[in-house]
Amino acid sequence: MAGAGPSLTEQVLASVERIPPGKVMSYSDVAEYVGSRAARNVGRILATEGGSVPWHRVVRQDGSCAEHLRDEQLARLRAEGVAIRGQRVDMARARWNGR
């Protein structure tokens, strides 16, 4: 459709690209940031299209990581100085509000 804005996929990838090193957003934060309520769609987009963006900066609302990605994701986040407690990101300290 001519004149249509960016697709949800483009919006999600662009917003994840903007998350600065040392900060994270939850899937629902990203969804809200792009004007959607579909946090699961954010996860699907990152799983299928997110290889070129810092996907590791998006975690679950409670700061946990998907089990199959946890070790790599936590290692990347620790390398960026993200506050982590046990196996979870300290969301109170590391959450980015998009500004």
Segments making up each domain of the chain, as ranges: 8-94
Percentage above 90 pLDDT, the chain? 86
pLDDT band at residue 50, thresholds of 50, 70 and 90?
confident
Task: Determine the CATH number of domain 8-94.
Answer: 1.10.10.10
Answering whether pTM is above 0.85, one says yes
Which tens digit of pLDDT belongs to each residue from 55-91? 999 999 999 998 999 999 999 999 999 999 999 999 9
pLDDT band at residue 3, thresholds of 50, 70 and 90?
low
Nearest one of 82, 79, 99 to 91, comparing CA atoms: 82
pLDDT band at residue 2, thresholds of 50, 70 and 90?
low
**Judging by beta carbons within 10 Å of its beta carbon (0-12, 13-18, 19+), is residue 69 exposed, middle or buried?**
middle
